[in-house]
Chain A
Amino acid sequence: MKQFHTAVLERRKAFEGAFAVQPYETPWADEALFFLRIESRDQPRTAIRARVQVSVDGVRWIDEGTAFPVLEGDGDHFVRVRHFGGWLRLAGETEGGGAVLTVHLVLKG
């Protein structure tokens, strides 16, 4: 039977401007989903950009190529990632104000 684990990387945390979420080790997993929940935004026009990053050591980060579309409303969103090596995180920025976010990483392998 495969392993499965959901990690709550950020839990209702306020972000403003450029941000990166808590890094997470993923060497055992074959596939991942990042769920990004926009709990609230400072302004109706506040937008969130977020992209997936990989790393060899959890310190130096490189864009993986997967990104969320520009998010301009509250609610839940996800992206899929495969073939990512030992580490994953999300990096991004808020525009036009801050936002409170919850980020889940769902791993299977």
Chain B
Amino acid sequence: MPVSSRFRPLDHVLTSDDFDRGMCGWTDLTPNFTLPGFNARQSIVDKTQWGPPMLSSATFSYVGTHGSMEGTYSLKLATRPVASVYEAPPAPGCMSIALKRLSQHFPLKELQLECWYAYTPEQDRTGLNEKDIRSFGFGFDLQDARSRAFWGVRYLNSVNGAMQQRWQYMKAAGVSDAEWAYGTEGDWCKKGVDPQWYGRRYPDGRADGFHDVPCGAQQLCYNESDDKINWLYFRLLLDFEKQEYVEFQSGARTFDLRGCSPTFVDPYARIEGLLNPLIWIETDTDRRVFLFVDSVVVSATAVQPSA
């Protein structure tokens, strides 16, 4: 699909998804159902209950249908109405996470994710309830011959009802694999993998899976009522030659991330070349919260052959 001028893609567009054309391959993130009876292995974080993504018309009771930026449908990530306190392991269903399962077809020099999105809680109660959205984020799960790494940025909006409104990037603290899994031994993870739900969290918003972005405070255009949504621009750029983040853009602001790296772990079996863009949202309380994604473009530049 041609890329709209509202995006700034790199040389090679890998995917250009407008959800007026369907789900475009974005799907629910689930664990591996490889045990007898199609069960998944036990974990301190129950990954079987995340809210399934859907096509949405963004309709509200007293507003009617918002539609999307240039049509009717966006991809809506909807949590279930359940949350633990921020410091506890995420409750089953407190997040919705959508991903697209791709793989690399040339050596990557740079990789970029861009999208237009909006966020609001389910309007099941009166008032202005921005504080009920804990966080949302964008990134990649990537593996090459050297390592696997989660690269991403989240907007920490609220912690236990207290507004935070700052950006954080994926990078693990210096903890053990057991500490990464909230103090449990033998969980299915390594430190650095799945920071969207692993890594201890602290009452001031810090987390073992994320670092605060320098000068990363930002108020977004949430609007003045839970039934009014504004489409927001996000762009994340990564440098694979230097193995570091480059920058991300939120609205009209660009945040420099040069010198910041994710956490690299040894490659996992059977996923060399994995390239999975990720988008997620998490609720802060006992109500559904929604992330509407109008459109997403993933683009890259290739490593040039040596002369």
* A59:B57 contact, CB within 8 angstroms: no
- Known contacts A3-B22, A59-B122; A27/B52 CB under 8 A: no
| Residue of B49, B59, B123, B124 with most chain A CB atoms under a 10 A cut-off | B59
* B73:A28 contact, CB within 8 angstroms: yes
Q: For the complex formed, measure the closest distance between the CB of A48 and the CB atoms of chain B, giving whole angstroms.
A: 19
B interface footprint on A65-94 (CB within 8 Å = 1, 0 otherwise): 000000000000000000000100000000
Number of A-B contacts (CB under 8 A): 51
Give the residue name and chain of the B residue nearest to A27 (CB): B57
Q: For the complex formed, measure the closest distance between the CB of A24 and the CB atoms of chain B, giving whole angstroms.
A: 6
* A58:B122 contact, CB within 8 angstroms: yes
B54 interfacial by beta-carbon distance below 8 Å: yes
Q: Which of B48, B52, B54, B56 contacts A12 (CB 8 A)?
A: B48
Q: For the complex formed, measure the closest distance between the CB of B19 and the CB atoms of chain A, giving whole angstroms.
A: 10
- Known contacts A11-B48, A25-B55; A57/B73 CB under 8 A: no
B61 interfacial by beta-carbon distance below 8 Å: yes
A86 to B54, CA, bound (A): 12
Q: Which of B52, B122, B124 contacts A7 (CB 8 A)?
A: B52
Q: Which residues of the partner chain A approach B72 to less than 8 Å between Cβ atoms?
A: 27-28
Q: For the complex formed, measure the closest distance between the CB of B172 and the CB atoms of chain A, giving whole angstroms.
A: 28
A88 to B262, CA, bound (A): 41
For chain A, the count of residues having a C-beta within 8 Å of the partner chain is 20
B166 interfacial by beta-carbon distance below 8 Å: no
- Known contacts A13-B49, A28-B73, A59-B122; A7/B54 CB under 8 A: yes
Label chain A's interface by main secondary structure.
Answer: loop
Q: Which residues of the partner chain B approach A106 to less than 8 Å between Cβ atoms?
A: none
Q: Which of A8, A25, A56, A60 contacts B76 (CB 8 A)?
A: A25
Which residues of chain B from 47 to 79 have any CB-CB distance to chain A below 8 Å in the complex? 48-49, 51-52, 54-57, 59-61, 72-73, 76, 78
B80 interfacial by beta-carbon distance below 8 Å: yes
Q: For the complex formed, measure the closest distance between the CB of B51 and the CB atoms of chain A, giving whole angstroms.
A: 6
* A25:B122 contact, CB within 8 angstroms: no
A41 to B124, CA, bound (A): 31
Q: Which residues of the partner chain B approach A5 to less than 8 Å between Cβ atoms?
A: 22-23, 55
B28 interfacial by beta-carbon distance below 8 Å: yes
Q: For the complex formed, measure the closest distance between the CB of B209 and the CB atoms of chain A, giving whole angstroms.
A: 25
Q: Which residues of the partner chain A approach B51 to less than 8 Å between Cβ atoms?
A: 22
* B60:A24 contact, CB within 8 angstroms: no
* A8:B73 contact, CB within 8 angstroms: no
Q: For the complex formed, measure the closest distance between the CB of B107 and the CB atoms of chain A, giving whole angstroms.
A: 34
Cross-chain pairs A/B with CB under 8 angstroms, 16 sampled: A3-B22, A5-B22, A7-B52, A7-B54, A8-B52, A11-B30, A13-B49, A22-B52, A22-B78, A22-B80, A25-B56, A25-B57, A27-B57, A57-B59, A57-B123, A86-B57
Query: Which residues of A line the B interface, CB within 8 A?
Result: 3, 5, 7-9, 11-13, 22-25, 27-28, 56-60, 86
